[in-house]
Structure 1
Amino acid sequence: MTEATHDWRIDAREYARHESRRGRRFAYPTLDPRRTALAVIDMVPFHVAENRYCRAIVPHINSLAAGLRAAGGSIAWVLPAPGEPTARSIEFFGQRTAENYSGSAGFGPPSTRLWPELALGDEDLFAEKSAFSAFFPGRCDLPNLLDRRNIDTVLITGTVTNVCCESSARDAATRGFRVIMVADANAAARDHDHNATLHTIYRSFGDVRPTSDVLAMISR
């Protein structure tokens, strides 16, 4: 299966809406790399192997991770927590699908369960989440890990754009983090799904920018 890149976009009217309100296109035109974390959501073989859009974002994630590490920032790899399917998930998804999702985390140390082409670092953080969102209270240790490093800005990347990545972006914003969703470092099943989330995040929760923009902000 060949890789594919999302044809992502933000409507001109949405840019215009924010420009008229705050006098600039982006809420967060600058960032402090030392107070910034790259959150990489669910980039495990279960999600990446069969999704050509997921495989295409791996180089972008690696570039962001390398750039942010070099500038003193933090990289956080977030994986699904292993466990049995809940009664609610069985009721909603059906027995077989619920079991598949509950087993999506794989087995072994977190660093060995990620997609093998991702470039990890010695000081990187690892967190497991037992909900769609990595920032939902009591369901993932990521917020506590970031607080210990005095992080105020979160770069959201990973998969699936319109489920766990969007849920994480919304909750991160609710918890007071500055949120930037990296448009070409998230992946969904279809462009339509991907772009619907980008619209929602840009409209109400954070900025949406490509990898090249974010790398320029980091190097600045």
Structure 2
Amino acid sequence: MEPLTHDWMIEQREYDRQQERRGRRHAFTTLDPRRTALVVVDMVPFFVADMEYVQGIVPTIERLAHALRQAGGTVAWVLPGTTERTATTDELYGPEVAELFRTSGGEGPLEKRLWHEFTVAPEDLLVEKTASSAFFPGRCDLPNKLRERDIDTVLITGTVANVCCESSARDASTLGYRVIMVADANAARRDQDLNATLYTIYRTFGDVRPTDEILDLIAH
């Protein structure tokens, strides 16, 4: 299976709208790497193995992780935790799919449950979430761990862009983080799904930048 790359976009009218609102295209024009976390959502075999677009973002996430670590920032790997089946999830997904989602994060040490092409450094964070969002209160320890490191900016990457990544970006914004969704380091099943999420985040919850621009911000 060959990896694919999304044809992502923000419409010019949305760039123009934000330019008129705040006098610049992007909300966040600088970042302090030491107060920045790369949040990598759900990059486990359940999601990566059979989704060409997800495989396509693996090298991009690796580039970002290496650059941010070198600059003194934090890399946070967020994995799906095993949850309890409920009558509601059975109703929503059907019993068979509900069971698949419930155990999608796999078993064993967290580092071993990540997609095998990733490099995890000793200083990285590894956490589980038991909700779509990595920032939903009481369902993931990520906010507490980021608070301990005085993080104020989160770079959202991973999959599925329009589900767990978007949910995480929304809740991170609600908690007061500077949110940047990395356009070419998020993956969905279709371009339309990713682009709808990028539009929503850019319009209301944060900023959207490609990897090359993020790397420039980290370097400067």
Q: TM-score range by the shorter chain?
A: over 0.9
Distance 2:200 2:83 in 1: 31
Offset at residue 37 of structure 1 (A): 0.2
Cα distance in structure 2, aligned partners of 1:28 and 1:15: 14
Structure 1 residue 159: deviation in Å?
Answer: 0.1
Q: Distance in 1 between matches of 2:123 and 2:165?
A: 23
Partner of 1:77: 77
Question: Shift of residue 84 of structure 1?
Answer: 3.1
Residues 85-143 of structure 1 show CA distances to partners (whole Å, capped at 9, x for unaligned) of 22221111010000000110101010000000011111000110000000000100000
Partner of 2:209: 209
How do 1:94-113 residues align onto structure 2 when only pairs under 5 Å count?
A: 94-113=94-113
Match of 1:181 in 2: 181
Matched length: 220
CA apart distance, 1:83: 3.0
Could you tell me which amino acid in structure 2 is paired with residue 83 of structure 1?
A: T
Provide Cα deviations, 1:170-214, integer angstroms capped at 9, x if missing partner.
000000000000000000000000000000000000110000000
**Take 1:132 and 1:83, find their aligned partners in 2: how far apart are those partners?**
11
CA–CA separation in structure 2 for the residues paired with 1:87 and 1:128: 23
Helix, strand or coil at the partner of 2:126? strand
TM-score between the two structures when normalised by the length of structure 1: 0.99
Matches of residues 17-36 of structure 1 in structure 2 within 5 Å? 17-36=17-36
Long gaps (5+) in structure 1: none
* Identical residues among aligned pairs (%): 63
**RMSD over aligned Cα atoms:** 0.6
Q: Greater CA deviation, 77-86 or 88-97?
A: 77-86
Q: Does 1:191 align with 2:155?
A: no
